[in-house]
Amino acid sequence: MNKQHRFDTLKNEIWQNYFSANKAHKTVSLDVSDIDDCLDGGLAIGRVHLITGSGYSGAVRGFILAILRKIMQENPSSYVVWCTNLNSSDGILYGAGLAAIGIDPARLILVDESHPLRGVAAMEEALNSARQIGESAIQIAAVIGDYAQLANSPDLWHKTARRLQLAAEKGNVLTLMSGITARIIPAAGFESYWQVSTAVTDVSSPHVSSPHVSSQSATYFYNNASWDVNLSRTRSGRRWSGVLNWQFSTGRLSKRSAPEAQINSAIPARQIISHVA
């Protein structure tokens, strides 16, 4: 057996072991077959996923909430622990808005921790609490932490990723680490790395000087959201990039196809319909 053959055999063994181990993990499908294929079936439960975005917190939070809604629907009696800084400039989660998109705020437990290290420790505690000890099993659907700024310290960041990964595996809980940052941060210890930003609206006229004011467009605006999503790291090595639409009423994610984009660009310029007195 030459070296090349042994190397191929070894690679096959690794892949088989990886797939057999990965199949044991439960996943959450994101409704888009391309993304699910990249993730080998969907977002893996019991793993840590990194989600970042630049600009403002709306896109990243929206994408996380889209995932949360799916997982909370699949586990109707479970809870979500969100560790965040409640006094940050990104704003506080708003219950009325969450309820309107189908997420029950009563199932959301917020942990207020401004210091990233203590915040990660809080995430770890939440993941540890999900472990079944004795008679009481705590059902946690997901643990989220807004502490991606820890990546500024590479040593701490790798340790954090590893510790969270171990805790998530033991608790078998979906764990999301999020943050608002424009730069690409190292995602070595994470199962997947998502970069999410708002999808640029297809402005038909480059010289729009005044906004279109419309009362009926509230449905168009706030029944869905669009994001530019770049899935840059997966266990399978495959990547995905594109625009995702999220329908609030159904909770479904869908890929914005190229023909649809063309249709959007073909929409004639809206007339200004103002109901402002």
Partner 1 sequence: MSSSTNEFIYMWFYDLPPWLACQQQGWAPDIAVAIYRIINTRQVICHASASAKKAGIMIHMSVADAQAILPICHFREYDDIAVKNWLSRVGEWAWRYTPIVGIDSDSLGIWLNVTGASHLGGGIKAVCNRLHTEFNQIKVSVQIAAAPTYGAAWAFAHFSELLKQPNSQQNRLVIACDERSVLRQKIQPLPIAALRISTDIEAGLRQAGLQQIYQLWAISAISLTTRFGSELVQRLGQIIGDVNELQNPLIVPTPLIVSKNYLTPLLGVEAIQQMIADLVRLICIQLAQRYLLTRHLVIAVQRTDSTIIRRTISLSRPSRSESLLHRLTAHLAANIDAEFGIEHSWIEAKKLSAGLPVNQAFDSDLYKDDSKETLIDYLTARLGPNKVCQLRPSDSWQPESAQKLQPAQQTMQPASSSISNNQSYWQLQKGANILDNTEYNTSLVSFSARPLSLLTPAIPLHVIALLPDHPPSMIRWRKQNWHIYQATGPERIGPSWWQHITQTSPYSNKRKNSNKTRDYYWLETRSGERLWVYREGLTERGENVEWFLHGFFA
By CB under 8 A, the residues from 114 to 173 that bind partner 1 are 122, 125-126, 129, 133-140
List the one residue from 36, 37, 104, 169 that touches partner 1 (CB under 8 A): 104
Query: Interface with partner 1 by CB under 8 A: which range of 29-37, 83-91, 177-185, 258-266?
Result: 83-91
Structure tokens at 153: 């310290």
Helix (H), strand (E) at residue 228:
strand 224-233
Which positions ≥6 away from 141 have C-beta within 8 Å?
A: 68, 71, 72, 74, 75, 78, 79, 80, 173, 174
DSSP assignment, residue 204? S
Among 164, 168, 185, 225, binds partner 1 (CB under 8 A): 225
Q: Is 75 in the site for partner 1 (CB under 8 A)?
A: no
67 vs 161, which CB is nearer to partner 1?
Answer: 67
Report the relative pairing of strands 48-53 and 192-198 from DSSP bridges. parallel
Residue 210 lies near partner 1 (rule: CB under 8 A): yes
- Kindly state whether residue 65 participates in binding partner 1, applying the rule CB under 8 A: yes
Nearer to partner 1, 20 or 205 (CB): 205
Please report whether residue 250 would count as binding partner 1 according to CB under 8 A: yes
C-alpha distance from residue 76 to each of 67, 72, 139, 140, 141 (Å): 14, 6, 10, 11, 9
Q: Report if residue 95 touches partner 1, rule: CB under 8 A.
A: yes
Residue from 19, 94, 154, 262 binding partner 1 (CB under 8 A):
94
List 231's β-bridge partners, or say none: 194, 240
Instruction: Provide the CA 203 distance to its chain's centre, in angstroms.
Output: 27
